[in-house]
Each structure stands twice: as C-alpha cells, then as structure tokens.
C-alpha cells in the first residue's frame, strides 16, 4: 500500500464541495426569513435535527477521503451529474433570494428546492468517489444511501418549516 500524502486529501472529491460550502456561507443571510437560521431551526423534532446533522457531517467529510479520479466513464458521468446538480442548487437559492414572493418561491416545490437538489450533486460525488484512500469495506453505493438519507431528513426539516410558515 502506497503512503497517502496531504496532497492526496487536498486533491480529493472534497475539493468539489468547496464552492458549495462557500456559497452557503456567503448567501445564507440573504434567504427569506423562514429560512433564516433561528426560524429554520425552531421546533424541529430532535430525530430530524440529529439525523440531518449527523448525515450532513458524514456526506461532507467522506468526499475528502475519496480520490478525485475521472478515469472511468461512470466517474465522468458523475462529474456531469455533480455539475448539473450544483447549478440547479445555486439556481434554487437564487430564486428564493431574488424572487422571494414569486409563485415558485412560495410553493412547496420552490421553497424546498435547496433541500432536495443536493441529492443530485451528492449522487455525482458518489459516482466520482468510487473508493476511499485506504482499503476497506467501503463501496460507492454506500455514499449514495448516506446522501439519500441526508436529503430525506433535510427535506423533512424544510417541509416542517414550510408548513409552519405558509
């Protein structure tokens, strides 16, 4: 087994998540009040809160342990899915920020778009990150299940907020 270097972790699938993390930090304050931190987290059942946060942590840390490798066709398709998903995610945020009173933004589908569109870019990461840096029982489809679990909790959370506010 070859030695893993710091450079390997820097050039991991986690690198792809950085624009999303920066976007979230930069624009969260511009979202409609219902999606503001205090209101968004008010009265959310503990099972939803803990499930969402635990799975969020896992699906955001695991990519930093996956080599960024695009040799296989499925990995290149994963990059395409990741890119399309990231663009749709950004557009979902922009719709809520720029047009908060639009029919789209006030609908369940529009309000929850930032909660369900991550499934696309997370699935893309799962297809790119076929393995971890070390041998073990990890399989790429495990990441897809974790991403689906996170998305389910995130959508449940956003649905609670939507029902409470609209």
Here the tokens at position 54 are: 């635990």
The domain spans of the chain are 6-165
Give pLDDT, residue 36. Answer: 86
Helix (H, G, I), strand (E, B) or coil at 12: strand
Could you tell me the pTM of the whole model?
Answer: 0.93
Contact 33, 39 (CB under 8 A): yes
Over its length of 166 residues, how does the chain's per-residue pLDDT go in tens digits?
Answer: 456 676 766 789 999 999 999 999 999 999 999 998 889 999 999 999 999 999 999 999 999 999 999 999 999 999 999 999 999 999 999 999 999 999 999 999 999 999 999 999 999 999 999 999 988 999 999 999 999 999 999 999 999 999 999 9
CA distance 25 to 148: 23
Here the tokens at position 134 are: 């070390």
CA distance 165 to 133: 44
């Amino acid at each position: 087994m070859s030695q893993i270097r710091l450079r390997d972790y820097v050039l991991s699938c986690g690198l792809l998540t950085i624009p999303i993390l920066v976007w979230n930090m930069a624009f969260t304050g511009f979202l409609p009040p219902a999606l503001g931190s205090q209101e968004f987290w008010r009265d959310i059942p503990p099972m939803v809160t803990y499930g969402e946060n635990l799975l969020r942590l896992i699906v955001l840390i695991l990519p930093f342990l996956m080599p960024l490798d695009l040799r296989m066709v499925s990995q290149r398709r994963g990059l395409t899915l990741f890119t399309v998903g990231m663009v749709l995610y950004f557009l979902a945020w922009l719709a809520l920020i720029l047009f908060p009173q639009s029919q789209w933004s006030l609908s369940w589908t529009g309000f929850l778009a930032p909660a369900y569109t991550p499934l696309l870019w997370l699935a893309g990461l799962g297809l790119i990150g076929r393995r971890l840096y070390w041998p073990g029982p990890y399989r790429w489809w495990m990441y897809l299940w974790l991403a689906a679990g996170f998305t389910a909790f995130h959508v449940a959370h956003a649905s609670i907020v939507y029902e409470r506010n609209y």
